[in-house]
Structure 1
């Protein structure tokens, strides 16, 4: 069944407009929304944790297909678990259901706080250069459009996002995933070993209504490295 609408949820340091090339390539005739998430773009002054953001999205957009990349994938999982009645299809890309070990989670939370402090210290431009220099983004060609979208962010907004919605703040969701009954597509890049393993675990925990697709030649930022391939996957899944 074709969904009533598609809601696209971006990753950290991006913004809703990052999805424009994919929106233009999706072949289903369905309304598409791609909001700026808290701490980003037009929502730079909004501070919101994952659960509150999920609630706000469910109320704002209602029933449809929720598609999330990285941070947006974690938010999409929260929407699907807390408000399954509004999620007709779920697509998560290069994401996780959380860190199981409480000590590892605390370590990640401290690392996110340190990253937020550095961001406030060096500013957005320097931080983005450092962020995109990580090995996980090695295969991402940062286009003019990509750079312009990221440049709409503020240091204060991104720092607040790290502190309120970073992976270290998230309670693990793994033991709840079996309750998801909608069709689920998990997408990872062939070259992103960490998230390939997490993708396989997501499918194992969800069950037979989930499937995992690895996009050849892609790294972490699958939708933006292989926009046409990702749009084709979405279009086929949502028909």
Structure 2
């Protein structure tokens, strides 16, 4: 118990007891706070049908409604896979030029764009936000659209999915274009972070944290993705914000962030026998240029192209420089 100073009338608490009280108080705040703290609701969501473009299409693949766009006809068939926080929009400046050479299909990966976002408890098999599921989804989309074989064009995290698809289904992939691809090191939570993310507190509060993508953190990520951010227009910003207007986008993004992506695909690059085009911006601040150089060096049949004065999204920032090497590459698959 504390001791009383009879002259002052003040009860003095032993220092260790005082600090113990503070620790208990902090633990109560940490453990109970996220369970009782009111979480402000998102703005009223907009129906996916109302956000869709005139050329938007939807198809059910592995029990998920997948949003995609298709242009062109004939061979070769190109499947375009966007990166983190992006959507089919990232290809809008190059889609028509690519479609002049064959069939081009761009789709939104789960957690992004206008593709359906399953909620926790709604799936019984593979987590739809995992890489393994998205590899299955890519092949499933090809099956649904009667595509036997395709060239996969993957940007950033989409490059990791493209490469894993080629490794798992080499008979379905004729070639790879890897654009500032995130394949040397994985991402996502690990260790104690994943344990914390699965506590009741974080399951409730985590989606609120994911909303930072709609704020300054998201803006900073976009700015870091460009060499010259003055080229990023109001139209671009509106397109990126579109996927943040659908129902439960924050929950889906939180689920995506929890998936274990601690891979290092560089050790498997020697298994890729198909020709690969590796493209990177020389000022990529998201995926270091050295990683693209390492990847190209380890691939048995790769050509590396570095675009000057270009950042992480060359298909958006530098389409005129991006297209020639890609068109030259896909020319080898034309019949």
- Report what 2:276 is aligned to: 184
| In 2, Cα distance between equivalents of 1:122 and 1:36 | 21
Residue 162 of structure 1, aligned match among 245, 257, 260:
257
- Report what 2:161 is aligned to: 75
Question: In the TM superposition, what are the counterparts of 1:1-239 in structure 2 within 5 Å?
Answer: 3-26=75-98, 28-46=100-118, 47-61=128-142, 62-99=148-185, 106=190, 119-122=209-212, 124-133=214-223, 135-140=224-229, 141-153=231-243, 154-164=249-259, 169-192=261-284, 195-207=288-300, 209-239=301-331
Give the TM-score, by structure 2 length: 0.60
Q: 1:96 to 1:130 in 2, by over 3 A?
A: closer
Q: Is the 8 A contact 1:8 1:32 kept in 2?
A: yes
| In 1, Cα distance between equivalents of 2:269 and 2:96 | 31
Deviation at 1:160, TM superposition (A): 2.7
| In 2, Cα distance between equivalents of 1:201 and 1:169 | 20
| In 1, Cα distance between equivalents of 2:114 and 2:136 | 19
| In 1, Cα distance between equivalents of 2:164 and 2:274 | 14
Q: 1:3 to 1:66 in 2, by over 3 A?
A: farther
Matched position secondary structure for 1:14: coil
Deviation at 1:202, TM superposition (A): 0.8
| In 1, Cα distance between equivalents of 2:289 and 2:215 | 30
**How many equivalent residue pairs?**
228
The gaps in structure 2 that reach 5 residues or longer are 1-73, 119-127, 143-147, 244-248
| In 1, Cα distance between equivalents of 2:212 and 2:158 | 25
| In 2, Cα distance between equivalents of 1:159 and 1:92 | 26
Which whole-Å deviations, capped at 9, do the CAs of 1:142-162 have from their partners, x for residues lacking one?
Answer: 233422321122333333332
Which whole-Å deviations, capped at 9, do the CAs of 1:65-115 have from their partners, x for residues lacking one?
Answer: 100111111111111111111111101111232328x9x9848x76xx79x
Deviation at 1:163, TM superposition (A): 2.4
Deviation at 1:198, TM superposition (A): 0.7
Normalized per residue, which structure has more helix? 1
Q: 1:211 to 1:224 in 2, by over 3 A?
A: same
Mean CA deviation greater in 68-77 or 41-50: 41-50
| In 1, Cα distance between equivalents of 2:116 and 2:252 | 5
Q: Is the 8 A contact 1:73 1:93 kept in 2?
A: yes
Q: 1:125 to 1:96 in 2, by over 3 A?
A: closer
The gaps in structure 1 that reach 5 residues or longer are none
Deviation at 1:25, TM superposition (A): 2.6
Matched position secondary structure for 1:21: coil
Considering only CA atoms, is the larger Rg found in Structure 1 or Structure 2? 2
Q: Is the 8 A contact 2:184 2:291 kept in 1?
A: no
